[in-house]
Structures are given as structure tokens and as C-alpha cells.
Amino acid sequence: MPDTGASDAFVAFERVQKSYDGETLVVKDLNLSLPKGEFLTMLGPSGSGKTTCLMMLAGFETATNGEIKLDGVSINNIPPHKRGIGMVFQNYALFPHMTVAENLSFPLEVRKIGKSEREKKVQRALDMVEMGAFGGRRPAQMSGGQQQRIALARALVFEPELVLMDEPLGALDKQLREKMQFEITDLAHRLGITVVYVTHDQTEALTMSDRVAVFDDGRIQQLAPPDELYEAPQNSFVAQFIGENNTLEGVVKEIKGDHCIVQLDGGETIDAKPVNVSKVGERTRVSIRPERVEVDPQLGPDAHTLKATVKEFVYMGDIFRTRLQVAGNSDFVIKTRNRPDQRRLRPGEEVTIGWLTEDCRALDAG
Ligand SMILES: Nc1ncnc2c1ncn2[C@@H]1O[C@H](COP(=O)(O)OP(=O)(O)OP(=O)(O)O)[C@@H](O)[C@H]1O
Ligand SMILES: [Mg+2]
């Protein structure tokens, strides 16, 4: 989904900053806009500012600077319960003394919806998360996954246009988590709900989202659809944080258009695609994905080859995972598909490896 200008955005953060102590900024200069119906995930290491951003959007924290807009209107001075936002926070528990039905009815009572209408909406929301028969239970009488689904139903029962979720599946086992990932995205797309989702699980982010905002140190490092994030990381942090990645360190020797020449610390010279290097003499980290490397390459003229020594060869069924020593890096990992023509390598063996120049990205030195 293309980035939208602030004008047609449904949710917009404009130059938002946040400091809790008046000194350090934990959100540094956030500009982010979402069109209606988008599923956007904030992904990043612990402490990078994800929850803080969600709390400001929800209205539980105020921005130190900048503006947050909903449907073009500033909501800086609107209290949380008047923003009409559904929320599922990991520690935003169900009311323990109320039944499931009462928990779901509550946001409707607050909105002055009549009894018969409330009952209809509660039942519909419960059916939606396949918990139709659980209206009379109390939270303590349900499993973690069932409570999580009720929390989701409660966030959706008043048909909000925007739902915020902070690690909503963190407490669930893998199987239930994957089922709920599907249920949430399916529901959001069916109802046209805009979702801002927070996780530190990159697989969850890549599989669920229209776009992912990668956070580090209070800033968005890259905002892009999942495939672009994986295939075209814009800096070393994103390349390392998303998926598995090989790096070779060196110095930029020459830049001409969409090619550059890098002298690796191991002595070899290679061609790369300059991504965020700009000057000759600059140190760089060249980044290559494990599945883009070929052994005994037959890639044609726009390929680059290097000699490597096999350190370890692991048979994994569908793929072979080989660790190599290449240009001073003894932890260079490649993944090859298990095909009849793919030979199995032995530790100590010398091989030639290669890749296309466009798969070899010269990034900042980190
Ligand atoms: N109420 C608070 N008072 C003071 N500092 C806070 C408060 N809440 C968060 N912080 C600080 O702000 C920074 C960002 O925290 P935040 O909770 O937004 O991170 P996060 O990306 O959600 O991390 P996690 O993945 O661990 O949940 C951290 O350095 C944190 O210590
Ligand atoms: Mg958090």
C-alpha cells in the first residue's frame, strides 16, 4: 500500500515527540500516516517506543510535541473514551467480577446504547470470535486464549473504525497464536477496520501486516510492506533485524550510479548496490541474504563470485544450511534448496560462491 500524504490519512502522527522525564526523548520525530482500512504493525526491540506511540494514540499518554490526528482532526485534547478507539492491550484485562456478556456490554452502555440493541451486538461479537456459548462465564473460568478472544470481541463490539493492539497474542502458545493471527487479520479486512498492531515477533509482523514500521531508539527506521522490508532493507539495522542476513565489512572505493565497488577487509574487491553509502572512503557493511547465494554459481555476467571454505554443512530436509568462511567472515550462512542436482558439501572443502550484484547491498557501517 503506498504511503499516503497527511491530507487523506485516517490516522496521522505529525512530528510527534515524547519525553517522560523532560530530558530524554523516547519518541524522537514520528511522522506516520495510515489510510482507512490499513493493517499497520509497529515492530522493534524492547524499549524502542512502540507502546508509547500506541498509548499516545489511545490518549493514555500525551505527546510532548507534535500532533496526532484522526480523520484529519487533532485529537491531542480529546480524552481516551471519546476517541472511539477499540483496544486490546496485553495488560488491559477483562473485568474479573463481570461475566463475559457484561464485559462486552460495558462499552455499549458507556455509549448509551439501549438494552435490546446491546444484547444483539454482544451476541454478534461473541459469535464472531466463536465464543457464542460463553456469555455467562467469568474471565477466571476460561483459558488464556479464550480470554484473549473475549478481549478482542470487547474491542470490536462497538464497531470502532480504529483498533489498537499491543502484543495481544504474547501469552498464547504457537498453535493458538497462529490461529488468532489469521482470525484478527481476516476480521479486520472483512469489517474494513484500521489496525495499529504492536509486536516484537517479526514473523507475526510480516505475515499479518499491509505495512510494517520498524522502530529503533524512538525512530522509524523503515516503513514498508513486508516483502520490501525483507528484500530491500534501507539500513544495517533493518537488514539485521528482519530475517537472516550476512554482512561483509569494507570500504567504498568507487560509486557510479547504481553500482559501487567495495574493498572488503579480507582484501577482495566486490561490486554492490549502493543503498545508503554516499562517499568514497566511507566504511560500509555489505548485506546479502542466505538464499540469494549460489554454490558453483551459473548466474551470468552480472554476478559476483568469491572463494569460500566450508565450515559446517547441515542437512535440514527441505534445505541445506551451510556455514562458510568468506572474506574474513567465518559465519557466512547460505541456504540452498534440496534438489537432486545440488551437491552436499564437506567441511574443509573449498568452493566458489556467487550472487547477483543487485542482491548485494552496501549499507551504513552500523
Ligand atoms: N511511564 C513511563 N515512565 C517513564 N519512562 C517510560 C514509561 N513508559 C516507557 N518508558 C520508557 O520509554 C522507552 C520506550 O518504552 P516503550 O514501552 O514505548 O517501549 P516498547 O517499544 O513498547 O518496548 P517493549 O517491546 O519492551 O514493550 C523505554 O526506554 C522505557 O523505559
Ligand atoms: Mg511495549
From 50, 56, 204, 221, the mutation candidate for ligand 1 (largest count of ligand atoms within 8 A of CB) is 50
Buried b or exposed e, range 163-188, using 16+ CB within 10 angstroms: bbbbbbbeebeeebbeebbeebbebb
Measured by CA distance, the residue closest to atom 5 of ligand 1 is: 20
Helix (H), strand (E) counts: the chain = 8, 20
Task: Compute the distance from residue 57 Cα to the ligand 1 centre, in Å.
Answer: 15
Q: What pLDDT score was predicted for residue 251?
A: 97
Find the residues whose C-beta lies inside 6 A of ligand 1. Answer: 20, 26, 44, 46-52, 200
- Given a cut of 60, whether residue 349 has pLDDT beyond it is yes
Question: Stretch 244-267: mean pLDDT, rounded?
Answer: 93
Collect residues with CB below 5 Å from ion ligand 2: 51
From 13, 17, 28, 48, the mutation candidate for ligand 1 (largest count of ligand atoms within 8 A of CB) is 48
Question: Stretch 255-264: mean pLDDT, rounded?
Answer: 93
- Given a cut of 60, whether residue 4 has pLDDT beyond it is no
Question: Stretch 126-135: mean pLDDT, rounded?
Answer: 90
Task: Compute the distance from residue 159 Cα to the ligand 1 centre, in Å.
Answer: 29
Q: What pLDDT score was predicted for residue 91?
A: 61
- Given a cut of 50, whether residue 157 has pLDDT beyond it is yes
Please calculate the CA angle 196-186-113 and round it to the nearest 5 degrees: 70
Ligand whose nearest atom lies closest to the CA of 217: 1
From 51, 61, 91, 165, the mutation candidate for ligand 1 (largest count of ligand atoms within 8 A of CB) is 51
Measured by CA distance, the residue closest to atom 3 of ligand 1 is: 20
What is the dotted CATH code of the domain comprising 11-236?
3.40.50.300
Cell of 207: 505475515
Question: Stretch 250-260: mean pLDDT, rounded?
Answer: 94
Question: Stretch 139-159: mean pLDDT, rounded?
Answer: 88
pTM passes above 0.85: yes
Class of domain 245-363: mainly beta
Q: What pLDDT score was predicted for residue 3?
A: 47
CA-closest candidate to residue 166, choices 184, 183, 178, 192 = 184
Q: What pLDDT score was predicted for residue 2?
A: 44
**Strand ranges (DSSP E) for 217-340?**
219-224, 246-256, 259-264, 269-274, 283-288, 294-295, 303-315, 319-326, 329-337
Task: Compute the distance from residue 324 Cα to the ligand 2 centre, in Å.
Answer: 37
Q: What pLDDT score was predicted for residue 116?
A: 95
Task: Compute the distance from residue 200 Cα to the ligand 2 centre, in Å.
Answer: 9
Measured by CA distance, the residue closest to atom 28 of ligand 1 is: 47
Q: What pLDDT score was predicted for residue 92?
A: 60
Domain residue spans in the chain?
11-236, 245-363
Per-residue CA distances from 151 to 129, 163, 307 (Å): 10, 12, 55
Measured by CA distance, the residue closest to atom 7 of ligand 1 is: 20
Q: What pLDDT score was predicted for residue 166?
A: 93
Chain centroid to Cα 229, Å, comes to 9
Task: Compute the distance from residue 263 Cα to the ligand 2 centre, in Å.
Answer: 41
Atom number of ligand 1 nearest to Cα 44 = 21
Please calculate the CA angle 300-301-303 and round it to the nearest 5 degrees: 80
**Mean pLDDT taken over the chain:** 91
**Amino acid identity, position 216:** D
Q: pLDDT-based confidence at 169, cuts 50/70/90?
A: confident
Residue-wise pLDDT tens digits, 87-103 = 988 666 789 999 999 99
From 16, 17, 52, the mutation candidate for ligand 1 (largest count of ligand atoms within 8 A of CB) is 52
Cell of 310: 566450508
Atom number of ligand 1 nearest to Cα 20 = 4
Ligand whose nearest atom lies closest to the CA of 26: 1
- Given a cut of 90, whether residue 317 has pLDDT beyond it is yes
Q: What pLDDT score was predicted for residue 1?
A: 43
Q: CATH topology of 11-236 equal to that of 245-363?
A: no
Task: Compute the distance from residue 48 Cα to the ligand 1 centre, in Å.
Answer: 7
